[in-house]
Chains A and B, each alone.
Chain A
Amino acid sequence: MRHTIAVLVKDHPGVLARVASLFTRRGFNIESLAVGHSEEIDISRMTIVVKGDERVLEQITKQLNKLIDVIRVKDISPNNSVERELALIKVNTNSLAARSEIIQTVDIFRANIIDVNSQIMTIETTGTENKVNALIELLRPFGLKEVVRTGKIALSRGSATATGLKNKPNK
């Protein structure tokens, strides 16, 4: 079973290492990890996709919560969230036939061609993981030169948020 969790962390040096090393030493597997700034200053948001049953997920959540730099951990259920991934795909375009077929495929997927020369095209796509996978598989026969994926990012649907933090002093 795969889970997507949002982890809000203090934005300072070493925090990524803390989170990553926790996964390694507790034997949890990370499928993907995306990090960037959140809506609040000094707080970064990680989106981590992990594999495991409910018990593993519970342990991951609790262990993450123990890290002092982790402010909040939220399980983002796939049924009630929007998820996207960005990929850049550099593909061979040796023949004219290939070229037009690739352009058609890109159109069907509503992807964009963002770089081109006589040998290659670089395609940008966003979407669910399945969509990105499907596009990559269709392009594979032409010869993939390079693929880079951001890993999944996700937000809960509607007005539910993982944040809403206020600085409260400890007792």
Chain B
Amino acid sequence: MKLTGAQIVVECLKKENVKVIFGIPGGVMMPLYDVLYSEKSIKHILTRHEQGAAHAADGYARATGKVGVCMATSGPGATNLVTGLANAHLDSIPLVAFTGQVPTNLIGTDAFQEVDISGITLPITKNNYVVRDVKNTASIVQEAFYIARTGRPGPVLVDLPKDIQLAQTEFKYPKSVSLNGYKPTFNGHIQQIKAAAQEIGKAKRPIIYAGGGVISSNASSELRDLALKANIPVTTTLMSLGSFPETHPLSLGMLGMHGTPYANYAVSDADLIIALGVRFDDRITGKLDEFGSKAKIIHIDIDPAEVGKNVLVDIPIIGDVKKILERLNEFTLKKKETEWLNTIKNFKRKYPLKYISNEELKPQYIMETISKIAKDNTIIVTSVGQHQMWAALYYKYTEPRTFISSGGLGTMGYGFPAALGAKMGCPEKTVICISGDGSFQMNQQEIATAVNNHFAVTVIIMNNGCLGMVRQWQELFFDKRYAETTLNGNPDFVKLVEAYGGTGIRVNKKQEFYSALEKAISLNRFVLIDCLIPKEENVFPMVNPGSPISKMIGVDKL
């Protein structure tokens, strides 16, 4: 039987086990939406802006480990996805985005709502396609999903011209994908793994530096085995929070620009860095040539291009982190002596994370309180800025995929729609979105999506009335000249959310927060808590850009 291109796309989505799509329809996407209209096995969540759809699909993917799917029409619909795709690309999140396109005979004529979205998203997708022949639809959609989720995951875009959606052909779903230009390496080289085991055996001061790759390859339990077996302390990047339980004595929390003092000191002092699924980002390394300068480096990553990109590596192992750690853990790794662990214990005792706790409603207190109340599997989703760093530092993450945040791109406005996507993927878990007042306003239109779909998500706005992180830099590096960082004219967020039919709670005082949070979680509906926090509160520790990470502001000197 012949099917239309639109029907074929939907059949492929079913084959790929897609349960939910986030998107907004439009002119040239109507054939596809018409097929979805009668398709009961796929739920479509109508967002209020395509950026929200892309971030929601991204949050869904991070929370579940599945491929997120979003959809938009041609032209402005497609360009509105761009930030979301770039965000997913930099954090290696599996997404498939479908965009409408003008009919093939109009492509290139500047037709109504025409943009070259394939060209625009070339550098921010893992791959993209324009379907030019309906016969290729099935194989392209299949390839898109295969490429998005395998190897180093990433976003893939499929552009669907309107006439292709309407044209008919025989539907055949290929049995397997064959791409001679794409063959990721999964199993690490055994000699390299052996060499790594030997280095670990010899090391006196080893440290594990775990990144987002540990989460995407679901390697948390293997990471835990390695650390416990050989007594190696673990520091995680922002992308990897939760991959190792922060309640464990071997955990050092996050490293880098706003890392914990003990993580940064430990990395700077280590004689062996075991880097797992990381890319030595500048926010982690600080001054590059002083990062781990006393250490040999073992780098395990599925992307060969990451090895040797920023730092020279002693033992590179290309492959899937989980598979490689499984093999590595088979080697007899002796428990490390206690001297190094004592040094680390001392770092932790002498240089703890600290802030001035007083009667004010401090953001750190907010996070500590959530940490006390929330169950281990609670998902914390953040936007970008000071609140993101407080959420990373002052909450104890113990499970993978429970901290969701925009890392590489640093996308303000990411958190709220991503939290809705996470809730869609994990309806049984508590989802709390931490946002700043600046970030929240960048996608606040999605309150409608949250209320309309009964997403029981709690949004906590750390409201300081300014673009706090930029303000912090102005205070420190621009002589307190606060150019354009005061958010005059902020709405009353409680009234705003009430206008949409949601619940809003304002918290002015420290003692009110605990009960407000309990109430919000117990209500089991969409609740926004507007927390008025002091504008002057800054994120510490902090490493000045370009400094080595052992030189932190807000920490006593070693």
Known: A17-B119, A68-B179, A170-B182. A63 touches B126 (CB 8 A): no
For residue B483, CB closer than 8 A to chain A, the reply is no
CA distance A25 to B132 in the complex (A): 27
Per a CB cutoff under 8 Å, which of B122, B178, B305 touches A63?
A: B305
Task: Pull 21 A–B residue pairs with CB atoms less than 8 Å apart, ordered by A.
Answer: A10-B181, A13-B130, A14-B119, A14-B122, A17-B122, A18-B122, A59-B309, A62-B304, A62-B305, A63-B305, A65-B304, A67-B127, A68-B126, A68-B181, A70-B181, A71-B181, A167-B180, A169-B176, A169-B177, A170-B176, A170-B182
Known: A59-B309, A62-B305. A68 touches B118 (CB 8 A): no
Known: A17-B119, A18-B122. A169 touches B304 (CB 8 A): no
Map CB proximity to B onto A55-66 as digits: 1 under 8 Å, 0 otherwise.
100110011011
Map CB proximity to B onto A18-40 as digits: 1 under 8 Å, 0 otherwise.
10011001000000000000000
Contact A21 B181 (CB under 8 A): no
For residue A129, CB closer than 8 A to chain B, the reply is no
For residue A148, CB closer than 8 A to chain B, the reply is no
Q: Which residues of B contact A (CB under 8 A)?
A: 118-119, 122-123, 126-127, 130, 132, 146-147, 176-183, 186, 303-305, 308-309
Contacts of B183 in A (CB 8 A): 170
For residue A83, CB closer than 8 A to chain B, the reply is no
CA distance A66 to B146 in the complex (A): 15
Contact A168 B126 (CB under 8 A): no
Contact A170 B177 (CB under 8 A): yes
Contact B179 A66 (CB under 8 A): no
In angstroms, how far is the closest chain B Cβ from the Cβ of A26?
Answer: 9
Contacts of A21 in B (CB 8 A): 122-123
Q: Which 4 A-B pairs have the closest CB atoms?
A: A62-B305, A169-B178, A68-B127, A71-B181
For residue A75, CB closer than 8 A to chain B, the reply is no
For residue A85, CB closer than 8 A to chain B, the reply is no
For residue A165, CB closer than 8 A to chain B, the reply is yes
Q: What band does the interface of chain A fall in when counting residues whose beta carbon is under 8 Å from B? A: 20 to 34
When C-beta atoms are compared, the residue in chain A nearest to B303 turns out to be A66
Contacts of A17 in B (CB 8 A): 119, 122
Contacts of B181 in A (CB 8 A): 9-10, 67-71
Known: A21-B122, A170-B177. A68 touches B305 (CB 8 A): no
When C-beta atoms are compared, the residue in chain A nearest to B184 turns out to be A170
Contacts of A70 in B (CB 8 A): 181
In angstroms, how far is the closest chain A Cβ from the Cβ of B82?
Answer: 15
Contact A167 B305 (CB under 8 A): no
Per a CB cutoff under 8 Å, which of B118, B178, B182, B304 touches A14?
A: B118
Known: A17-B122, A169-B176, A170-B176. A68 touches B308 (CB 8 A): no
Contacts of A165 in B (CB 8 A): 180
CA distance A55 to B181 in the complex (A): 23
Contact A58 B308 (CB under 8 A): yes
Which of B132, B146, B304 has the most chain A CB within a 10 Å cutoff? B304
In angstroms, how far is the closest chain B Cβ from the Cβ of A138?
Answer: 43
Contacts of A171 in B (CB 8 A): 186
Contacts of A67 in B (CB 8 A): 127, 181
In angstroms, how far is the closest chain B Cβ from the Cβ of A82?
Answer: 26
Per a CB cutoff under 8 Å, which of B177, B180, B305 touches A66?
A: B305
CA distance A59 to B311 in the complex (A): 12
Not counting A68-B147, A68-B182, A171-B186, a sample of 13 additional A-B residue pairs whose C-beta atoms are within 8 angstroms of each other reads: A13-B132, A14-B130, A17-B122, A21-B122, A59-B308, A62-B304, A62-B305, A66-B303, A68-B181, A167-B178, A169-B176, A170-B176, A170-B179
